[in-house]
Amino acid sequence: MKKYEEYLGIGIAGNFALHLAQAGELEDFKNIITQDEAAPKGIFPFYLPCKKESKSSRPHEVLFTYPLSSQKITLPAKNLRVQIEPEVGLLCELSYTNGQITAVTPKYFAAYNDCSIRISGAKKISDKKNWGANSKGIAPTLLKIDSFCEGGIMDNFSICSFLRRENKLHTYGENVELNGYSYFYDKLTKWIQNQLNTQEDFGPLENIKAYINRCNNPTNAIISIGATRYTSYGEKTFLQKGDEIFVVLYNHKRYSLQNIMDTIHDNNYTKEQMSILAQRVE
């Protein structure tokens, strides 16, 4: 699954209340000042669609490795703790004028797994985000966005996530409506545009614009907009080989949470008004 090889891959940290605390990452952002208390903490790269040509230490070489899969997660070679991060992935068009990003336009959305390593002392967020092939997940079903604003299709969608271990299905992330994101719709896209143009190399953050320019200003991007809160099970459970991961976006006016669980039990991942990411851990 390399259909997004030419897409810039970036993610947003801290766009859902309490997630950073659950993930043990609040300390990483203690010196990051945001424009308001609810604002996300910053943007990190997880995939750069070009080749590394300089000998500088940043960006790390692994960020040029395509990490997306719709079928599996391959655990790191080292024995590290890894968690699902259930998210919405936006497929966006990026517009530029003189090297500055002038618009971020979401076209599609899909279930997304910003799978992450849990290690203390990482210098940058991206150090925990891409460890090679099959370290991220995006659902094969994309849902078209009619308008990325209140009153549009995404008003009717929720996100939930599960882990199946030894044939038992566990709720991993909370079942929440997409409008539960701290920044969403126009507020989010304006923030992303500004952050991409102005974010500096400071603390756990990197100068994303320099990376974008180095990749000749990609016009398409996959943007993961932040992980939801964990259930008590998800907060303390790390991935093992043989686990099955499910991240689901669904129309909550059409389906109940029980409908989603039944769909997973039936291995039926192609229903209308759903985007289901199902990955096996290897």
Domains contained in the chain, CATH given: 8-150+179-230 (3.90.850)
* Tens-digit pLDDT profile for residues 212-256: 999 999 999 999 999 999 999 999 999 999 999 999 999 999 999
Q: How confident is the model at residue 201 (pLDDT cuts 50, 70, 90)?
A: very high
Measured between alpha carbons, how far apart are the two ends of the chain, in Å?
A: 17
Instruction: For residue 108, count CB atoms less than 10 angstroms from its CB and return exposed for 0-12, middle for 13-18, buried for 19 or more.
Output: middle
Element (H, E) at 208: helix 208-214
Reported as a single tens digit per residue, the pLDDT across 147-178 is 999 999 999 999 999 999 999 999 999 999 99
pLDDT at 32: 57
Q: Helix count (H) and strand count (E) of the chain?
A: 5, 15
User: What would the pLDDT profile of 117-128 be if each residue is shown by its tens digit?
Assistant: 998 778 999 999
Alpha-carbon distance 242 to 280, whole Å?
6
CA–CA gap between residue 148 and residue 39 (Å, rounded): 19
Average pLDDT, the chain: 93
- Of the candidates 220, 187, 219, 194, which has an alpha carbon nearest to the alpha carbon of residue 208? 194
C-alpha to C-alpha distance for 233 and 244, rounded to whole angstroms:
15
Per-residue model confidence (pLDDT) at position 52: 78
Residue 249, pLDDT score? 99
